[in-house]
Amino acid sequence: MAPSTYFLLASLLALATSQAIASDPGPLQDFCVADIHSPVKVNGFVCKDPMAVNADDFFKAANLDKPRDTMKSKVGSNVTLINVMQLPGLNTLGISLARINYAPLGQNPPRTHPHATEILTVLEGTLYVGFVTSNTDNGNKLFAKVLNKGDVFVFPQGLIHFQFNPVHDKPAVAIAALSSQNPGAITIANAVFGSKPPISDDVLAKAFQVQKGTIDWLQAQFWENNHY
């Protein structure tokens, strides 16, 4: 075999191998119900003994058909998340679910899911939704849309996104599916202004180009976590 041909084949093999390693492996068994209380620490949860698994490990009476209270939320939303912590049968299956109730003019504030892509379906009402791209030479581009009942929108993994009910006298409801058993959530305002211990106001004042007093006021607020 000519050296150039050998080099080309080796390069193609290396590329194919790197692509295979870069994706999540598929399950190696029918299921791996999470043993939430196991002291063993792994990326996810260790499997419960298959002989001890029963139908209840794959079931939750979540009452997702019932409206949630949004009155106590400072941002006007209430999220019911069903992930592996609530439903152990989701372990290794790469999926979770959330119901989001929005008060009139309520929002699910700008956030990112570091582990998951999200697909949102509007069940009732109207939502203004969008996501922002990562940094480019042309800045951060906003992709936004007004959704009505039955409409669907996708938020790519890791990108900052939001949902807002623009209607002043009607609530809204949506269901979101996420491509991880534990999608994670970073609410931008909470993370930046509500971290413990706080980020130095010198850092944030410089980053946001405002006076330190403005940062100190923001850090003194109560930053609500709606866990999604």
Structure tokens at 143: 């992709």
Residue 224 has pLDDT above 90, yes or no: no
Sheet holding 152-155, edge to edge: 77-82, 96-102, 172-178, 118-124, 152-155
Show the domains of the chain with their CATH numbers: 24-184 (2.60.120.10), 188-227 (no CATH)
| 54 assigned to a ligand binding site | no
Closest CA to 86 of 49, 58, 67: 58
Rounded distance between C-alpha atoms, residue 201 and residue 192, angstroms: 10
Residue 146 has pLDDT above 70, yes or no: yes
pLDDT, tens digit (0-9, with 9 covering 90-100), for 122-138 = 999 999 999 999 999 99
Q: Tell me, what's the pLDDT at 223?
A: 75
| 115 assigned to a ligand binding site | no
pLDDT, tens digit (0-9, with 9 covering 90-100), for 56-85 = 999 999 999 999 999 999 999 999 999 999
Residue 26 has pLDDT above 90, yes or no: no
| 37 assigned to a ligand binding site | no
Q: Tell me, what's the pLDDT at 107?
A: 96
Rounded distance between C-alpha atoms, residue 209 and residue 204, angstroms: 8
Structure tokens at 182: 């534990």
| 124 assigned to a ligand binding site | no
- Report the SS3 class of residue 87: coil
* pTM for the full predicted model: 0.85
Rounded distance between C-alpha atoms, residue 183 and residue 86, angstroms: 13
